[in-house]
C-alpha cells in the first residue's frame, strides 16, 4: 500500500481532487530551440547523414539496447526511418546539435501528448556515445522540459523507461523527476518483456527544478576544464 495521499477538495464527500484549470494546452510546434551549448532543430531527412556518422562510434551498439528501434543495418534503412520519424506528430522529434561539435549527435521527442489533461512526456531519446553525459545533453532535455512546462503550460511532465535501464533512471533522478512506480510486463519490445519505470514532475515542483537546472547550466557552475563544479542530482 502506497503512502501517497492524493490532494483533495476538503469540501467534498466523498473526496475528489482539487479543481484545476481545464483549458486544453497547446500542441508543441515544430520550432527550433537555442541554448547556451546546444541547438534543437525539428528533425528532418537532411539530418540523416550526420546522425548516421554519429552512430558509427565505439559504444553505439549498446545505445540501442533499450530503444524500440535500431540498430540499423544500412544507411539507407536508417534514412528511411528518419524520413518517417520526422513526420510524426506524437512523438514530435528534434535533432540535437551541440555547439562544440557543430554536427547533429542525437534526437529527443515530446510524446504521449494529452492537451486536455495537460500531460506530456519527454522521451524517445537517443544520444550518440560522444554526447552522453555532457552539458549539451542535459541542456537539450532541459530546453524541451522548459518549453512544455513554461511555454505551453503543461501540468504534468513524465519520463518512462525500461526498468532495467540504469542510465535512464539515473538521468531522470538528476533532472528531478519523482519515481512513481513500475508497471510489470508492460510492453513487448524486440521480442522481450519490458517492465516500465515511471517518473514525473508536476507543476508545483517545476519552478524549483527549473531553477536548479538553470543554475547548473550557468557558465559560473563550470571550471576551466569544462567540468561541473557540483552535481545536479538533488
pLDDT tens digits, 36-56: 999 999 999 999 999 999 999
pLDDT value, residue 76 = 98
**What's the rounded Cα separation, in Å, for the pair 124 and 120?**
13
Place of cell 526498468: 163
* pTM summary value: 0.95
Please compute, for residue 146, the number of CA atoms within 13 A of its CA located in the half-sphere on the CB side: 17
Task: Report the CATH superfamily, name and number, of domain 33-221.
Answer: Gcn5-related N-acetyltransferase (GNAT) (3.40.630.30)
Contacts of 77 (CB under 8 A, 6+ apart): none
CA distances from 71 to 23, 63, 77, 126 (A): 41, 9, 10, 11
Q: How many CB atoms lie within 10 A of CB 26?
A: 11
pLDDT value, residue 59 = 79
pLDDT value, residue 2 = 64
Q: Is residue 3 helix, strand or coil? A: coil
pLDDT value, residue 1 = 53
pLDDT value, residue 57 = 79
**203-212, pLDDT tens digit by residue?**
999 999 999 9
Q: Interior CA angle at 130 toward 206 and 36, to 5°?
A: 45
**Weakly modelled stretches of the chain, pLDDT under 50:** none
Amino acid at each position: 500500500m502506497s503512502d501517497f495521499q492524493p490532494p483533495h477538495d476538503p469540501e467534498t464527500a466523498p473526496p475528489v481532487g482539487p479543481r484545476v484549470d481545464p483549458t486544453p494546452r497547446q500542441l508543441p510546434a515544430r520550432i527550433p530551440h537555442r541554448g547556451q551549448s546546444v541547438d534543437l532543430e525539428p528533425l528532418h531527412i537532411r539530418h540523416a547523414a550526420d546522425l548516421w556518422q554519429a552512430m558509427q562510434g565505439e559504444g553505439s551498439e549498446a545505445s540501442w539496447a533499450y530503444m524500440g528501434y535500431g540498430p540499423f543495418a544500412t544507411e539507407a534503412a536508417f534514412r528511411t526511418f528518419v524520413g518517417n520519424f520526422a513526420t510524426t506528430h506524437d512523438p514530435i522529434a528534434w535533432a540535437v546539435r551541440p555547439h562544440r561539435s557543430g554536427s547533429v549527435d542525437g534526437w529527443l521527442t515530446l510524446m504521449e501528448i494529452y492537451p486536455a489533461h495537460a500531460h506530456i512526456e519527454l522521451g524517445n531519446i537517443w544520444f550518440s556515445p560522444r554526447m552522453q553525459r555532457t552539458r549539451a545533453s542535459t541542456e537539450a532535455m532541459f530546453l524541451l522540459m522548459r518549453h512544455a512546462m513554461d511555454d505551453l503550460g503543461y501540468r504534468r511532465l513524465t519520463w518512462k523507461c525500461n526498468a532495467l535501464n540504469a542510465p535512464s533512471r539515473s538521468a531522470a533522478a538528476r533532472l528531478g523527476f519523482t519515481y512513481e512506480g513500475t508497471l510489470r510486463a508492460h510492453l513487448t519490445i524486440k521480442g522481450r518483456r519490458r517492465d516500465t519505470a515511471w517518473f514525473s514532475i508536476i507543476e508545483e515542483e517545476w519552478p524549483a527544478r527549473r531553477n536548479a537546472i538553470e543554475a547548473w547550466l550557468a557558465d559560473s557552475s563550470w571550471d576551466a576544464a569544462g567540468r561541473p563544479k557540483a552535481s545536479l542530482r538533488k
